[in-house]
A and B are shown apart, each in its own frame.
Chain A
């Protein structure tokens, strides 16, 4: 997978997390590549892409992180991963994807997005046939959020 697809997501994730987590210390971890199945941390928002490029982006975190991030974004302590908390994580995925896609469109790639869907559960994994997944961990005070991008040019 070409790295130019992932950079916009990393930049967007960094910018948006910095903004919604109120200037907290957000750091980018080391990028790594997975070609086989990847475990999912517990709460994953997925956005699909279809067009000149196709694939999907996962925003993956554990439950505690999801709850902590949703709590900061709502300005109140949320106790459970309820509809509001899930809508908050969905909106986070929306904001990051929208910003990344703007950059990709500027680079000349045309494609559509699906609305984000949220998966929650234990011991989940994601497999991408024929597409490598590039993963960028973002470290926040609320915990680790992995941006997991599997995109390819349409054959």
Chain B
């Protein structure tokens, strides 16, 4: 169709949400705030990522990870959550799968916890408020490594 030829550049960029083999990256969101979970899910889905599950606390997140493993590419992990916090959940996920790719989602002011998480094996972190560009950048970085 003629219009396609007229507007090539912008839409030809491949969305980041797909693996080299063409399948969508599978993401697990662990966050106790339905608002943050929805926001993350919208941002990721819009770029082609497949949000396969959302868990509301660290324990549920850990259980979901074990259930979905190995068909999972990335976890976004909130830090402050009921039942089991994100740092403990991270520790247990890494214990279970040392190659797990986990990105911490943090409020400002939790630098110490973020550092701890990075030392423990988290691949990166994102500070709230979430910005679409920032989220997609960090996620793509982690998956390309």
Q: Are A and B bound to each other?
A: yes
Chain A residues with a Cβ under 8 A of chain B: 16, 19-20, 73-75, 83-84, 87-88, 90-91, 94-95, 98-99, 101-102, 105, 115
| Min CB gap A86→B, angstroms | 9
> Considering the chains assembled together, what is the distance between the CA atoms of A101 and B38 in angstroms?
26
> Is A91's CB under 8 angstroms from B35's CB?
yes
Q: Chain B residues with Cβ under 8 A from A88's Cβ?
A: 35
> Is B108's CB under 8 angstroms from A95's CB?
yes
Q: Which of B34, B39, B107, B128 lies in contact with A83, CB distance below 8 A?
A: B34
> Given A94-B128, A95-B128, A95-B129, 10 other A-B contacts at CB below 8 A?
A75-B42, A87-B36, A88-B35, A91-B33, A91-B35, A94-B107, A95-B108, A98-B107, A98-B110, A105-B109
Report the nearest B residue to A88, measured CB to CB.
B35
Report the nearest A residue to B107, measured CB to CB.
A98
Q: Which of A19, A74, A98, A102 lies in contact with B35, CB distance below 8 A?
A: A74
> Can you offer 10 A-B residue contacts whose CB atoms are under 8 A?
A16-B129, A87-B34, A94-B33, A94-B128, A95-B107, A95-B128, A95-B129, A98-B109, A99-B108, A99-B109
Chain B residues with a Cβ under 8 A of chain A: 33-36, 38-39, 42, 80, 107-110, 128-129
Q: Chain B residues with Cβ under 8 A from A115's Cβ?
A: 80
Q: Chain B residues with Cβ under 8 A from A105's Cβ?
A: 109
Q: Which of B34, B42, B80 lies in contact with A84, CB distance below 8 A?
A: B34
> Is A74's CB under 8 angstroms from B36's CB?
no
Q: Chain B residues with Cβ under 8 A from A90's Cβ?
A: 33, 35
Given that A95-B108, A98-B110, A99-B108 are contacting pairs, would A74 and B129 also be in contact in the complex, using a CB cutoff of 8 Å? Answer: no
Closest 9 CB pairs of A and B: A102-B109, A98-B107, A87-B35, A88-B35, A87-B34, A98-B109, A91-B35, A98-B108, A99-B108
Q: Chain A residues with Cβ under 8 A from B108's Cβ?
A: 95, 98-99, 102
> Is B110's CB under 8 angstroms from A84's CB?
no
Q: Chain B residues with Cβ under 8 A from A95's Cβ?
A: 107-108, 128-129
Q: Chain A residues with Cβ under 8 A from B129's Cβ?
A: 16, 19-20, 95
Report the nearest A residue to B37, measured CB to CB.
A87
> Considering the chains assembled together, what is the distance between the CA atoms of A54 and B73 in angstroms?
43
Report the nearest B residue to A20, measured CB to CB.
B129
Q: Chain A residues with Cβ under 8 A from B107's Cβ?
A: 94-95, 98
| Min CB gap B83→A, angstroms | 13
Report the nearest A residue to B80, measured CB to CB.
A115
> Is A91's CB under 8 angstroms from B109's CB?
no
> Is B38's CB under 8 angstroms from A84's CB?
yes
Q: Chain B residues with Cβ under 8 A from A19's Cβ?
A: 129
